[in-house]
Amino acid sequence: MNPQNNPPQRWEDDIFDCFVRHNVSQIPYVPDAGHAHLIRRVHDQPGMTPLVLTTEEEGVASSCGAWLGGQKSVLLMQSSGVGNCINMLSLVSNCNFPFVTIVSMRGEWGEFNHWQVPMSRATPGSFELMGIDVKRCDTPQDVAPTVDAALYAAFASEQKIAILLSQRLIGRKEW
**Is residue 175 a part of any domain in this protein?**
no
Domain of residue 33, residue span: 11-170
Provide the pLDDT confidence category of residue 168 given band limits of 50, 70 and 90.
confident
| Residues 42/16, Cβ–Cβ less than 8 Å | yes
Provide the pLDDT confidence category of residue 1 given band limits of 50, 70 and 90.
very low
**Is residue 112 a part of any domain in this protein?**
yes
- Number of structural domains (the chain) is 1
Packing angle between helix 11-21 and helix 36-44, nearest 10 degrees?
40
Q: Is the pLDDT of residue 9 over 90?
A: no
**Is residue 34 a part of any domain in this protein?**
yes
How far, in whole angstroms, is CA 77 from its chain's centroid? 6
**Is residue 92 a part of any domain in this protein?**
yes
How far, in whole angstroms, is CA 143 from its chain's centroid? 11
Question: pTM score, two decimals?
Answer: 0.91
What whole-number distance in Å separates Cα of residue 19 and Cα of residue 57? Answer: 21
**Is residue 4 a part of any domain in this protein?**
no
Q: What CATH number is attached to the domain comprising 124? A: 3.40.50.970
| Residues 66/75, Cβ–Cβ less than 8 Å | no
Q: What is the pLDDT of residues 18-63, one digit of tens each?
A: 999 999 999 999 998 889 999 999 999 999 999 999 999 999 999 9
